[in-house]
Amino acid sequence: MLKHLQHEFVKPARVVILGARGFVGAAAAQWLVARNIPVLAIGRDEVDLMADDAVAKLATLLRPEDSLLVIAARAPVKNGDMLLDNIRVMNNVCKALAKVTPAHVVYVSSDAVYADSDGPLSETSSAEPSSMHGAMHLAREVMLKASTSAPLAVVRPSLLYGAADPHNGYGPNRFRRLAAAGEDIVLFGEGEERRDHVFIDDVAELIGRVLGRRSTGTLNIATGEVQSFRWIAERVAGMAPRPVTVRGSPRVGLMPHNGYRPFDPAATKAAFPDFSYTKLVDGLVRAAAADKAKSA
């Protein structure tokens, strides 16, 4: 749950973004800049958080009045080497925070920290990750909490989609690209898993609101609605400029999260009563329109 340290939205003096070139970082930066909030966008070209000089470089850039948005990660984590790299990155961030305490820290984690559940997950659900990706994020959350006295907020998004996603992961983003190319959309199994998908613009806005209210605590970023991958694929195919076939395929391995991962969005409503998540079908239309505008 979130606690706001400011009763109203107040523009941060400056937001320093680690991982500013990624999907979430770029969207957050765009949201902040559109509201005339100063942003220092830091990618690997500016500070390589794996390098020996990362602590000194980052500490030099940080100011006590800054808000620090930490997104930088090698993701999704698929093996032990990637896990250790992500821990090293966060260790360097924590060492820099020991030198300079900013006004606020926001960490973008993941819903992967939660154990599977038959019912809706909330911010009080058990954090028992079953994947190295979830273990990485939970470990980094703990590292930040132990390393800084700055007010800290942790946001945990569910599955993200949007036009600028660079990962092309299974789901709306890959489906749109396949449909645009006139290729079949091939599902894992029959696409029966039901998941909560969040539009990237909503993620950026909620991060911006957390920064503006100088919030502390934990917030899941999830709509509370679940749809199957087949449902999504069929909607995407229906928006394609030419006929696209949606078909299943033999499933390899177990169905992730037992095929069902719902969330309770009550904490979002309590923290930001005037905020509404984008409906999945509307987000798919907006993402498709952005794809078309980009290719025009």
What is the percentage of the chain residues whose pLDDT exceeds 70?
99
pLDDT at 255: 84
Whether residue 248 is contained in a domain is answered as: no
Q: What is the mean pLDDT of residues 76-100?
A: 96
Kindly write down the DSSP assignment for every residue of 26-80, as one continuous string.
HHHHHHHHHTT--EEEE-TTT--TTSTTHHHHHHHH--TT-EEEE-----S--SH
CA 144 – CA 124 distance, rounded (Å): 19
What is the C-alpha to C-alpha distance for residues 46 and 30, in angstroms, rounded to an integer? 19
The four Cα atoms 283, 1, 107, 132 give a dihedral, to 10 degrees, of -80
Q: In this structure, is residue 253 part of a structural domain?
A: no
Q: Supply the pLDDT for residue 171.
A: 94
Predicted pLDDT at 296: 63
Structure tokens at 22: 């990624």
Under 8 Å CB-to-CB from 266, ≥6 apart: which residues?
A: 122
Domain assignment present for 191: no
On whether residue 246 sits in a domain, the answer given is no
> Would residue 289 count as lying in a domain?
no
If one counts every other C-beta atom within 10 angstroms of the C-beta of residue 279, the result is 12
Collapsing DSSP to helix, strand or coil, 103 comes out as: coil
Helix (H, G, I), strand (E, B) or coil at 129: coil
- For the segment 99-130, what is each residue's pLDDT rounded down to a tens digit? 999 999 999 999 999 999 889 999 999 999 99
Model confidence over 130-189: pLDDT tens digits?
A: 999 999 999 999 999 999 999 999 999 999 999 888 888 899 999 999 998 999 999 999
Count of domains observed in the chain: 1
44-60 pLDDT tens trace: 999 999 999 999 999 99
Q: Judge whether 227 and 161 are in contact, CB under 8 Å.
A: no
In a domain? residue 282: no
CATH of the domain at 39: 3.40.50.720
Does 149 map to a domain? yes
Residue 10's domain spans which residues? 2-160+198-224+262-277
User: Is residue 244 assigned to a domain?
Assistant: no
DSSP structure class, residue 19:
T
pLDDT per residue over 7-47, tens digit each?
999 999 999 999 999 999 999 999 999 999 999 999 999 99
- Under DSSP, is residue 16 helix (H, G, I), strand (E, B) or coil? strand
DSSP bridge partners of 15 = 39, 67
